């Protein structure tokens, strides 16, 4: 068996969170050796596709207090308020740092950083680089990370398991795609930055790689997953492909209409269309710029009333940006135009864009504190795979990119300190675990030549069960049905056989390992969704339609006890903002000086 590949810190993931964490470790202690393991080339990470922008207070009309309040109320009070306060305070520093590293933030005519409105943010605070923000941010992070010689890049290596000895985490087992070699990559700390899990559902904006691997690895190692019942549907995906039309389209003034050309959102407690000459400009704070959970729920209600349009890919409504004019669309939303032309066959300068809700983001993830620490010493998580939690029951658009930076950096800094005093790993114990995992993968996938099941059918059945049972609206019965189907899919997965038994670039094997992860993540989502008998944010239980703070102002934790998933609970941290009603529109609960 090949030797262990030894480092001090192992980072799994080369997206915004992983790269920010890597830079943080290298800056804190240049003597540490850092492995950056990524199943795809880092610049292909899903971060690259983020369009709209990243939130941080920068303008004189804004304040930390406002950003904190928007985030907490947007989260339906399930966010930990200490984490939100810290996040909001560190956000402008992180985005400014990115500016210094070369990120080309779009500018106002006077040369200052421009901001745009975003859903649920009642004051404009979203920094952007046209509508290709993620691309520019990831480029900036990657080129900065390349400066540090202490980083070793494991591009196209797939982590399959955490190495744990006693009560500490010491690295990962990873498969090199090019050679098929399965090796141990060890360190005294591991930071999981593996992104989200939208692919658990059939219709998603998420890249094919977003399969919840890090969440599954943590769960299997006994670390709880927090708030997994909260799955964000973005209200404006292109029917058929699920490609995202960014919220920036509405931030710049786009409106949404139903089949009668009516701005239906005014019927759903999100404010009324205001006079366009009103200094509070209508689209900035009301209706189309309500939070994503409420907009997606409004779509379902319109559909039930028969007021949506019907197309080959199901029901849809229209997002109209024609009134912005060609010049502004080209300047501020060039990518929206490109996507609509290429994938919907329409030019939004002349025609409205067909859209429908699409799975976009998982609010839940690996349970961490504000330094990215988990209950397992040496294991950290940051970015979309983690749940700190600042997003609670509903994330506000543009908080996520900033979250990757703030908490990626904090996890990196903490891990750099931790490894200085953590005990050395016992190499022979770890080597044995690597051998066992390699043998498991060979036996279960590569050497198995027969079986009853195909990967694709099991995956599709799981995805459809999740959409049907754990979608925008759920009931006990619908989630129970999804759970039973997911359990059945897990059994059927054991009977899956692969056609490709080669070792080099065996992408079928990677798909199998990803599906194995998604099945675990789906299971956690179902258990959490069953246990939360209330409606809050993105979790709408039609059999329990109200928010129930008395019993459920708590984080759910799904944890494996003796191999069986159990749901436990953890208090939400409330500092200054007692639970209140979420208000949007003119009387939105915005601090009075901003009304
Ligand atoms: C289309 C789209 C648009 C978005 N727009 C915005 C926006 O405008 N503003 C905003 O704030 N948020 C936006 N988001 C959300 C935001 O982009 C993501 O939450 C964020 O970029 C996630 O970053 P990350 O570093 O956590 O993970 P990712 O960028 O997804 O990176 C995950 C990394 O983990 C690696 N990895 C995963 N599994 C393994 C494994 N088993 N082994 C090895 N490596 C592994 C991958 O190779 C990858 O490098 C958008 C999301 C989408 C899908």
Calculate how far, in angstroms, residue 281's C-alpha sits from the geometric centre of ligand 1. 33
Using a 6 Å cutoff on CB, does residue 232 contact ligand 1? Answer: no
Using a 6 Å cutoff on CB, does residue 384 contact ligand 1? Answer: yes
- C-alpha pair distances (Å), 543 with each of 205, 227, 522: 29, 19, 21
Q: Work out whether strand 314-320 and strand 353-362 pair parallel, antiparallel, or are unpaired.
A: antiparallel
Calculate how far, in angstroms, residue 102's C-alpha sits from the geometric centre of ligand 1. 21
- In this structure, the residue with its CA closest to atom 52 of ligand 1 is 50
* Ligand 1 mutation target, pool 126, 175, 218, 401, most atoms within 8 A of CB: 401
Residue located via tokens 């009668």: 260
Per residue in 316-340, pLDDT (tens digit) is 999 999 999 999 999 989 999 999 9
Section 223-240 average pLDDT = 97
Residues 533, 200 contacting (CB under 8 angstroms):
no
Calculate how far, in angstroms, residue 70's C-alpha sits from the geometric centre of ligand 1. 23
pLDDT the model gives residue 284: 54
Using a 6 Å cutoff on CB, does residue 49 contact ligand 1? Answer: yes
Euclidean distance between CA atoms 210 and 205, whole angstroms: 10
Average pLDDT of the chain to the nearest whole number: 94
Bond from prior residue into 550 cis (ω within 30 degrees of 0): no
Q: Of the listed 20, 44, 250, 413, which one is catalytic? A: 250
Euclidean distance between CA atoms 499 and 390, whole angstroms: 43
| CATH code of the domain made up of 236-357 | 3.90.700.10
Q: Is 533 a catalytic residue?
A: no
Burial group, residue 514, by CB count within 10 angstroms (0-12, 13-18, 19+): buried
Domain residue extents for the chain: 236-357, 433-554
Per residue in 15-67, pLDDT (tens digit) is 999 999 999 999 999 999 999 999 999 999 999 999 999 999 999 999 999 99
- In this structure, the residue with its CA closest to atom 37 of ligand 1 is 194
Q: Of the listed 67, 234, 414, 541, which one is catalytic? A: 234
Euclidean distance between CA atoms 257 and 408, whole angstroms: 39
Euclidean distance between CA atoms 62 and 76, whole angstroms: 21
| CATH code of the domain made up of 433-554 | 1.20.58.100
Q: Which residues pair with 474 in a beta bridge?
A: 541
Euclidean distance between CA atoms 141 and 479, whole angstroms: 40
In the DSSP assignment, the letter for residue 323 is G
Residues 56, 128 contacting (CB under 8 angstroms):
no
Residues 169, 82 contacting (CB under 8 angstroms):
no
In the DSSP assignment, the letter for residue 401 is H
Q: Tokens for 559?
A: 């944890």
Q: Is 44 a catalytic residue?
A: no
pTM metric for this prediction: 0.96
Calculate how far, in angstroms, residue 532's C-alpha sits from the geometric centre of ligand 1. 27
Per residue in 557-589, pLDDT (tens digit) is 999 999 899 999 999 999 999 999 888 765 554
Calculate how far, in angstroms, residue 21's C-alpha sits from the geometric centre of ligand 1. 14
Calculate how far, in angstroms, residue 202's C-alpha sits from the geometric centre of ligand 1. 18
Using a 6 Å cutoff on CB, does residue 244 contact ligand 1? Answer: yes
Nearest atom within ligand 1 for CA of residue 195:
27
Could you tell me which of 49, 24, 53 has the C-alpha nearest to residue 36?
Answer: 24
Domain 236-357 and domain 433-554, same fold? Reply is: no
Euclidean distance between CA atoms 474 and 51, whole angstroms: 30
Could you tell me which of 403, 365, 402 has the C-alpha nearest to residue 381?
Answer: 365
pLDDT band at 501 (very low <50, low <70, confident <90, very high): very high
Calculate how far, in angstroms, residue 386's C-alpha sits from the geometric centre of ligand 1. 11
The alpha carbon of residue 504 and the mean position of all alpha carbons in its chain are separated, in whole angstroms, by: 30
- In this structure, the residue with its CA closest to atom 15 of ligand 1 is 400
- C-alpha pair distances (Å), 86 with each of 280, 372, 504: 29, 13, 45
Side-chain half-sphere of 212: how many Cα atoms within 13 Å? 30
Euclidean distance between CA atoms 281 and 181, whole angstroms: 58
Task: Tell which wins on pLDDT, 285 or 261.
Answer: 261
Percent of the chain with pLDDT strictly greater than 90: 89
**pLDDT > 90? residue 278:** no
Q: Tokens for 72?
A: 């907490």
Could you tell me which of 205, 186, 185 has the C-alpha nearest to residue 197?
Answer: 205
pLDDT band at 283 (very low <50, low <70, confident <90, very high): very low
- In this structure, the residue with its CA closest to atom 51 of ligand 1 is 50
Q: Which residues pair with 539 in a beta bridge?
A: 536
**pLDDT > 50? residue 282:** no
DSSP H or E run through 186:
strand 182-186
Residues 472, 515 contacting (CB under 8 angstroms):
no
Euclidean distance between CA atoms 25 and 11, whole angstroms: 10
Concatenate the DSSP letters of all residues of 554-593 into one string.
Answer: EEEEEEEETTEEEEEEEEPP-SS--------STTS---GG
Which pairs from 430-433 meet CB under 8 Å and 24+ separation? 430/4, 430/163, 430/165, 430/170, 430/171, 430/184, 430/186, 431/1, 431/4, 431/184, 433/161, 433/163, 433/164, 433/173, 433/184
pLDDT the model gives residue 594: 39
Using a 6 Å cutoff on CB, does residue 15 contact ligand 1? Answer: yes
Euclidean distance between CA atoms 541 and 530, whole angstroms: 9
For 378-414, letters b (16+ CB in 10 Å) and e give: bbbbbbbbbbbbbbbbbbbbbbbbbbbbbbbbbbbbb
- In this structure, the residue with its CA closest to atom 10 of ligand 1 is 398
Using a 6 Å cutoff on CB, does residue 159 contact ligand 1? Answer: yes
Section 205-213 average pLDDT = 98
pLDDT the model gives residue 563: 87
């Amino acid at each position: 068996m090949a030797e262990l590949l030894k480092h001090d810190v192992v980072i799994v993931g080369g997206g915004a969170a992983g790269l920010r964490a890597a830079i943080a470790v290298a800056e804190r202690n240049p003597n540490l050796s850092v492995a950056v393991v990524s199943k795809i080339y880092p610049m292909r990470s899903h971060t690259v596709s983020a369009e709209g922008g990243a939130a941080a207070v920068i303008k004189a009309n804004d304040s930390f207090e406002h950003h904190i309040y928007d985030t907490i109320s947007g989260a339906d009070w399930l966010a930990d308020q200490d984490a939100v306060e810290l996040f909001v305070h560190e956000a402008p520093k992180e985005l400014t740092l990115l500016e210094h590293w070369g990120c080309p933030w779009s500018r106002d005519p006077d040369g200052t950083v421009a901001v745009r409105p975003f859903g649920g943010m009642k004051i404009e605070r979203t920094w952007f680089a046209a509508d290709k923000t993620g691309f520019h941010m990831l480029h900036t992070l990657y080129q900065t990370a390349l400066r540090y010689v202490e980083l070793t890049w494991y591009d196209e290596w797939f982590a399959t398991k955490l190495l744990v000895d006693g009560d500490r985490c010491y690295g990962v087992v990873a498969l090199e795609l090019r050679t098929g070699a399965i090796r141990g990559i060890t360190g005294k700390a591991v930071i999981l930055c593996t992104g989200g899990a939208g692919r658990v559902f059939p219709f998603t904006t998420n890249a094919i790689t977003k399969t919840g691997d890090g969440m599954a690895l943590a769960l299997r190692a006994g670390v709880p997953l927090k708030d997994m019942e909260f799955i964000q549907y973005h209200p404006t995906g292109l029917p058929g492909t699920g490609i995202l039309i960014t919220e920036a389209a509405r931030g710049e003034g786009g409106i949404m209409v139903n089949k009668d050309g009516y701005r239906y959102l005014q019927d759903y407690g999100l404010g009324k269309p205001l006079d366009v000459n009103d200094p509070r400009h209508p689209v900035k704070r009301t209706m189309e710029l309500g939070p994503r959970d409420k907009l997606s729920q409004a779509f379902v209600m319109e559909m039930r009333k028969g007021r949506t349009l019907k197309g080959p890919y199901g029901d849809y409504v229209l997002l109209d940006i024609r009134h912005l004019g060609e010049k502004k669309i080209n300047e501020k939303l060039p990518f929206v135009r490109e996507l609509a032309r290429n994938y919907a066959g329409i030019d939004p300068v002349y025609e409205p864009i067909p859209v429908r809700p699409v799975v976009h983001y998982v609010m839940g993830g690996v349970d961490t504190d504000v330094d990215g620490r988990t209950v397992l010493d040496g294991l950290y998580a940051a970015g979309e795979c983690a749940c700190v939690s600042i997003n609670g029951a509903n994330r506000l658009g543009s908080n996520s990119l900033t979250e990757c930076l703030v908490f990626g950096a904090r996890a990196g800094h903490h891990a750099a300190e931790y490894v200085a005093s953590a005990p050395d790993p016992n190499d022979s114990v770890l080597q044995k675990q690597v051998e066992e995992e390699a043998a498991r993968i060979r036996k279960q996938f590569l050497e198995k030549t027969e079986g009853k099941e195909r990967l694709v059918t099991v995956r599709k059945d799981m995805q459809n069960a999740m959409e049907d049972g754990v979608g925008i609206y759920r009931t006990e019965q619908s989630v129970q049905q999804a759970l039973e189907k997911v359990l059945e899919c897990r059994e059927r997965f054991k009977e899956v056989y692969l056609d490709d038994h080669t070792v080099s670039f065996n992408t079928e094997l990677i798909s199998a390992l990803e599906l194995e992860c998604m099945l675990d993540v789906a299971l956690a989502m179902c258990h959490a969704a069953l246990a939360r008998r209330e409606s809050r944010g993105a979790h709408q239980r039609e059999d329990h339609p109200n928010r129930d703070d008395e019993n459920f102002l708590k984080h759910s934790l799904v944890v494996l006890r003796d191999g069986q998933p159990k749901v436990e609970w953890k208090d939400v941290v409330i500092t200054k903002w007692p639970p209140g009603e979420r208000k949007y529109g003119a009387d939105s609960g915005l601090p009075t000086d901003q009304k």
